[in-house]
Structure 1
C-alpha cells in the first residue's frame, strides 16, 4: 500500500505509538508523513524510517496574559479558520498523490484534524483519546481562579461559546468524513461511541520489548516511580495524598519522570509534598533507554491519572519486570491485571495507602507479579501484533473507495 500519515502531536505516548507503527509499516509499504511545524518532530523521530517527511508551516496567533486572557478564545477561533485554509491545501496535496489510505492522528489544536473534512482519499483516524473538549474531566487546583467566579464569567462570555461551538462543528464534520476510527482501549471506544455512531474498532498499543526488558543485574531501590506529563490530569497529587497516609518510618520516597511540565503544577506538587512530609524527586527529559532503566530500578510503579484513556506506563513497567499499583478507572484496568501483574485501587488515598503497604510487605509476591507482567506483555502486547491489526484495518479501508 501507499500510505499517507498525518499528525500534529507533542511529545508523549501517542507520538511514541505512531513511531512504532511507522517504522514497521515502512518496512512493508510506501509511507509518507505529513505534519505541521507545531508538532514535536525530534521526540520519537519518524524521519529515520521514511523517505518523505513534509512539514506545513503554521504559527498560532499569540495569546494574551491576564487581565486580557478571555480574548484568547477569539484568537483560538480565528486560528480555526486559518487551520481550515491550510488543511484544505494539504488535503489537495495528499489527494493528488493518490494514496491508498490516509492514517491520521491528533492535531494539538482540534484533536481530530480539520484535514479529515477535506480529504477524498480513504481515511482512518486513531483515537489515542476521545476529543478532550467533549470529556468531562474537571480537576480543581488552588492556583487557578476561583471556580465560582469563573463559572459566572463563563456563562456570560460570548467568546467561549463562539470558539467551542465552532470547534465542535468542525469535529462533527471531520468525523462524518472519516471512514474508520481505531481506539487504543475499550474505555476510549466507549467514550467515542457515546457521542458518535461512526464505524469504530479496538486496535491496541504495544510495547517495545527490546527496549523495555528486565535486567536481573539492576538492584531494586526503595523509591516508588510514576511517569507522565506534569499536569493535573496525571493525578500526582493523589499519589502524594496517598503516601501521606503511611507512617513516616514506612513511607517510601516518590520519583516522578515527566516529559513535559506545567510550572504551576510543579510548584503546587512540591509544596504539597513538603507539607505532607513526602520525599519527592522530579526527573525530566529522559530518553527511552533511561526511562527503561528507571522502571528496572524501582520496586513498584504507581499510576493514578484521571480518566486516562489507556496509558503505556503500566505496560512498559510490566515489560521491565516491575509490578504496578494502578487506579481502577479509565483504561488502566485493561492493562493491570488485579492480583496477577499488580493491584488496582479506588480513588481513595487511605485505601491506596493500605494496598501499597500490603504490596511492599510481600517482596516475593512483587517478584512474582513482575515476572507475570513480563510473560503477559511478551505474549499479547507486542508492537508487531499491534501493527498487524492497524495494517489490516488500513487495508480494509483502502478497498472501500473514496470518503
Structure 2
C-alpha cells in the first residue's frame, strides 16, 4: 500500500483546497493510505469530505502567527509550512512514501532531511510571487529572497504538476532557472458525488419573488477576483434592459468564501456593499458570506448563469463545477477559462469589462432557451474533459511512478 501525505498551508474552502481534498479522495479510492497535514483546519469551515474519519486531517502549528501587524504574510506562510514539515518528520508514526505538497514549496528541503528520502510531488496552482504587487522598494527587497527561495525549492521536487497549459507557460516565464524541469498538466476535476444530489432548498429564500433570471458569482472576497466587475455589469445590464419588466426579473447573488480572520475578506465585503448602494442595486443583489457544499450545489443548479470575473485565473474550478451542474458560464477571456469554457457552446468568454459581460448576460435574459442548451453542453464537456476518473488515473500513475 502506497502511503501519501498531503501538505497544505490552510485547509479552508477555496479552489486549491478543493483540489487537495479531491486528490486525497481519489488516491484513497485506489487503495492508497492518505493523510492531510495542514497549519490550519476548522471543522466548521471545511469541505464535508474532511469530516470523514477515513480521511484524517492533522493540524499543527496553528499557534504560529499568520502575519506581523498585517504584514509579511508570505514569510509567515513559509515558516508555518516548514514547521508542519518538521513536525511530520519528527512525529508521524505511520510513515509515508510520497508527499504531495502545493502552494508553498519552502517545505521541500525539510522533507529531504528524512532518514530515507521520500519522494515529493509539487502541484503548482500558480507561482506565489505573481500573486502579490511590488509597488515599493521595500516590498521588492522583502520579496526578492522569497522569490529566489520559491524557485529554488520548487526545483527540488521530484515531480511538478500544473493545473493548466496556461500555468505551464507562466511557470516557464517565472522560473527561468527551472527550464529543464518537466511539468505535466493535471486538470482539477469535479467529484460527481458532491454534485449529484437533489436540490433541497429553493432560491426563494435568497431572491425576491418574480426574479426568474438569477446570475451567480462564486469567489472568495478578495480584490484580485474582480468582484466589482459583476456589480458594474449588473448596472450596465440595467441600462440595456431599461427599468421595466425584463429588469425586474433579474437578480445577482454574490456568494463568497469569507474568513473573519482575513482582513481583506472583511474589508472587501464592506467595499462591495458600498458599491452596491452607490450603483442603486440593493433590490437586485444578494450577498452570501461563506456557504456549505449543499448550499453551493443548490445555487449552481438553480441559477441561470455563473459570472466568473477574475482575469488571468490560473485555472478556476468554479466554471467546471457550474458546467457540471448544467449552469452556463460567462467568464473573462483569459487564463484557465480559455481551456475550460467553450465559447458560444457552454457559455461566453468576454473581455473583463461591464459592457462585454452585460452583453452576454442580456442574451440569457432575452433568450431563456440558452440556459438549457448551454447547460447540457457544459455537462457533456466536463464529463468528457474534466472527469474524476481521468483525474484519478493520472494522479495515481504519477504517484506510483515515484515509488518505483
| Counterpart in the other structure of 1:310 | 315
> What is the root-mean-square deviation in Å for CA atoms of aligned residues?
3.0
Structure 1 length normalisation: TM-score?
0.82
* Partner residue in 2 for 1:48: 52
Larger mean CA deviation between 168-177 and 215-224 belongs to 215-224
Inter-partner Cα distance in structure 2 for 1:238 and 1:49 = 41
Q: Which digits, 9 at most, give the CA deviation of each residue in 1:30-85, with x for residues without a partner? A: 323252332456512536264754433243347555xxx6xx44x97577567646
- Aligned partners of 1:82, 1:215: CA distance in 2, in Å? 40
**Would the aligned equivalents of 2:24 and 2:34 in 1 still touch at CA under 8 Å?**
no
Superposed displacement of residue 170, structure 1: 2.4
Match of 2:159 among 177, 180, 194: 180
SS of residue matched to 2:52: helix
Contact 2:122–2:159 (8 Å) recurs in 1: yes
Name the SS of the counterpart of 1:253 in structure 2: strand
1:124 CA displacement: 0.6
1:225 to 209, 212, 216: 216
Deviates more, 1:217-226 or 1:76-85: 76-85
Contact kept? 2:333, 2:352, Cα under 8 Å? yes
Question: Aligned partners of 1:82 and 1:47: how far apart in 2?
Answer: 23
The 1:396/1:339 distance shift into structure 2, 3 A limit, reads: same
Task: Give the corresponding residue for 2:267.
Answer: 264
Deviation sequence 1:70-121 (CA, Å, 0-9, x none): xx44x97577567646634534667x96633221123xxxx32424554231
Structure 2: 5+ residue runs without aligned partners?
A: 204-210, 260-264
Spell out, residue by residue over 1:333-362, the C-alpha distance to the aligned partner (whole angstroms, 9 max, x if none). 211111111111111221221222123211
Question: Could you tell me how far apart the structure 2 residues matched to 1:272 and 1:240 are?
Answer: 8
2:206 paired residue number = none
Q: Verify: 1:365 aligned to 2:367, yes or no.
A: no
Q: State the alpha-carbon separation in 1 of the partners of residues 142 and 75 from structure 2.
A: 5
The correspondence of residues 205-220 of structure 1 with structure 2, limited to 5 A, is 205-213=188-196
Question: Structure 1: any 5+ residue segments left out of the alignment?
Answer: 139-149
Residue 291 (structure 1) shift: 0.8
* Corresponding residue of 1:3: 4
Picking from 59, 66, 81, the partner of 2:63 is 59
Q: Does 1:192 align with 2:189?
A: no
| 2:255–2:288 Cα contact (<8 Å) kept | yes
The aligned counterpart of 1:112 is 105
Identify the residue that residue 132 of structure 1 maps to in structure 2. Answer: 128
Q: Do the aligned partners of 2:102 and 2:123 also contact (CA within 8 Å) in 1?
A: yes
Q: Helix, strand or coil for the counterpart of 2:220? A: coil
1:101 to 93, 98, 102: 98
Aligned to 2:208: none
Name the CA shift for 1:131/1:225 in 2 (closer, same or farther; >3 Å): same
Give the direction of change, closer, same or farther, for the CA distance of 1:91–1:192 in structure 2 (3 Å limit): farther
After TM superposition, the structure 1 stretch with the greater mean CA deviation from structure 2, 54-63 or 386-395, is 54-63
SS at match of 2:344: coil
Q: Distance in 1 between matches of 2:78 and 2:33?
A: 28
Residue of structure 2 equivalent to 1:319 = 324
1:101–1:121 Cα contact (<8 Å) kept:
yes
Q: Give the stretch that moved more between structures: 375-384 or 385-394.
A: 375-384
Q: Assess if the C-alpha contact under 8 Å between 1:226 and 1:255 holds in 2.
A: yes
Describe the shift of the 1:39–1:171 C-alpha distance in structure 2 as closer, same or farther (beyond 3 A): farther
**Equivalent-residue separation in structure 1 for 2:155 and 2:346 (angstroms):** 40
Structure 1 residues 79 and 14 mapped into 2: Cα distance closer, same or farther (>3 Å)? closer
SS for the counterpart of 1:291 is helix
In structure 2, what is the Cα distance between the partners aligned to 1:43 and 1:171? 27
The aligned residue for residue 167 of structure 1 is 146
How far off its partner does 1:167 sit?
Answer: 1.7
For residue 122 of structure 1, what is the aligned residue in structure 2? 119
Please report how far the alpha carbon of residue 331 of structure 1 lies from its aligned counterpart in structure 2 after TM superposition.
0.6
3-state secondary structure, aligned to 2:335: coil
CA deviations 1:297-343 (Å, max 9, x no partner) are: 21111111132111111111111111111110111121111111111
Correspondence for 2:343 among 335, 338, 354: 338
Q: How does 1:30-49 map to 2 (within 5 A)?
A: 30-40=32-42, 43-44=46-47, 45-46=49-50, 48=52
Residue 168 of structure 1: CA displacement? 2.0
Q: Quick one: structure 1 residues 48 and 381, their matched pair in 2 at CA, closer, same or farther if it must change by over 3 Å?
A: same
Residue 8 of structure 1, CA deviation: 1.8
Number of residues of Structure 1 aligned to a counterpart in Structure 2: 370
Contact persistence 2:66–2:76 (CA under 8 A): no
